[in-house]
Structure formats: C-alpha cells, structure tokens
Amino acid sequence: MIEIIPAIDVIEGKCVRLKQGDFSKKKIYNENPLEVAKEFESHGLKRLHVVDLDGAKIGKVTNLRVLEKIASNTNLTIDFGGGIKTGEDIKAVFDSGAKMASIGSVAVKEPEKFDNWLEKYGSEKILLGADVKDGKVAIDGWQTKTELEILPFLKKYYAKGVRKVFVTDISKDGLLEGSSKKLYAEILEKLPRLHLIASGGVDSLEEVGDLEKIGCAGVIIGKAIYEDRISLTKLSLGQFASGSRN
C-alpha cells in the first residue's frame, strides 16, 4: 500500500502552506506545529515530512527547535529538510530527532558532498528531494531554476545508490488541482525500482489511489488535509480508490 506522509511546512516556527512555492502567498494554519503532528499521529499515521522554509530560503537550517519538539513528543518517523548545506547541519538534523534528511540543493550544487553524506549515513537516511519546474530541477526553496532535466538527474543518483526520492511539481503545489501523474509515470517507466514519493497538488482520496496505481511508493499531502479536502480518518484506513482523471 502507498505510504501516506503528511507535511508540515514551517516559517518562523509556525505551520504554514505556500502556493507554487511563492513566499508572498503564505497561509498560517497553526501557530504550534506540534499540535498538528499530534493530530496526525492520533489518526494512526506513522510518517511526517517537515520542511524548514526559512532554512530553504536563506540556506541555513533555522527551525530545529520545531523538529526537536515533534520528535521528542511523538513517535512519528520524520524526514526534515530545508537549508541543510553543511556537515554540521545534517548532523544537527539527525541529533534533533529526524530519521531522514531531505536533501535537494546540495545534490545539485555540491554533488561530491552529497555523495559523501550518502556514503556516511546510508541510503535509508537520505531522502533526495527533486523540485521540478517545466521539467527542470529547481533549488533554494524553489527560488532558483537550473538547466538540469529531472530524469537524467534522478538516473545519476540512482546509479550512485539513492533509492528514496520525492519529486514535487512546483506548478501543481498548493493549488489542489491534482498532481503530476504523467511525470511520475514517466519516471517510474525509466526507474521502476525507485522508491518514488509524489508531492504537490494532491487534492482527493481518488488522487492517492491513482498515484498508488502508477506505482508511487508514497505520497506527501499538505494543503488538502489542512483545507479538509482529504479526511485523515479515511487516509489512515487506506480508504481510497483510483479515479479516472489524467
């Protein structure tokens, strides 16, 4: 069964969501991310995706305290990303309770450093984040678009041992208009053994079912939960079926 991974995006210690990665289009959902995390856990969910948006924007991990509070007060398996640039950063993330570090920009800008982290911590603890805009990888909290095409980028790191990846189509994120199923299908056609986690635009239980049918190993869901478009109870029970939208 596809793994359900709720998301908490953090700005200034608060649980927020952006629209298409635009920091000017910010909505605060809860002043206390720990309350949100506990709500997810109370519904039987096991995983959590935490994004330090402040860290992603300025290039320095900023909201470790939020991670520490969630990790020490829940049993959720947390991956944490945003602003992880140095060896000290990634160590601090693991020391603060994350089971996985989500890495994006470093894999693009400093591949040797990323390779070293992969070797040091192992593929189970490194979650490669690939944010996509018009088929090209974007970095620095989605602010910088590169000329790297997504498939060659993923193939390169798969060959180096990366197995867990989440791919976010920025054009879909926060719009509640459906995810990039075509993109995910293309990726899995080329890399069928990749542990691919879909992210961005998921707006219904049927959409989750569609992603499972494509072969996605997991799905990150944020705004659809906060806007009550998707029931946590039904998610936790696996009550979703494939729809018919493209």
Distances (CA, A) of 215 to 3, 182, 209, 224: 11, 12, 10, 21
Three-class SS state of 24:
strand
Under DSSP, the state recorded for 91 is: H
Neighbours of 177 (CB within 10 A): 11
Decide if 131 is catalytic.
yes
- Residue 90: name the closest of 52, 132, 46, 139 by CA: 52
- Per annotation, catalytic residue among 52, 79, 131, 173: 131
One DSSP character per residue, 176-203 reads -S---HHHHHHHHHH-TT-EEEEES---
Amino acid symbol at 19: K
Residue with tokens 């989440």: 166
Angstrom distance (rounded) from CA 103 to CA 117: 10
Residues 77 and 4: beta-carbon distance below 8 Å = no
Decide if 9 is catalytic.
yes
Element (H, E) at 128: strand 126-133
Distance of CA 80 to the CA centre of its chain: 9
- Per annotation, catalytic residue among 9, 79, 89, 203: 9
Catalytic residues: 9, 131
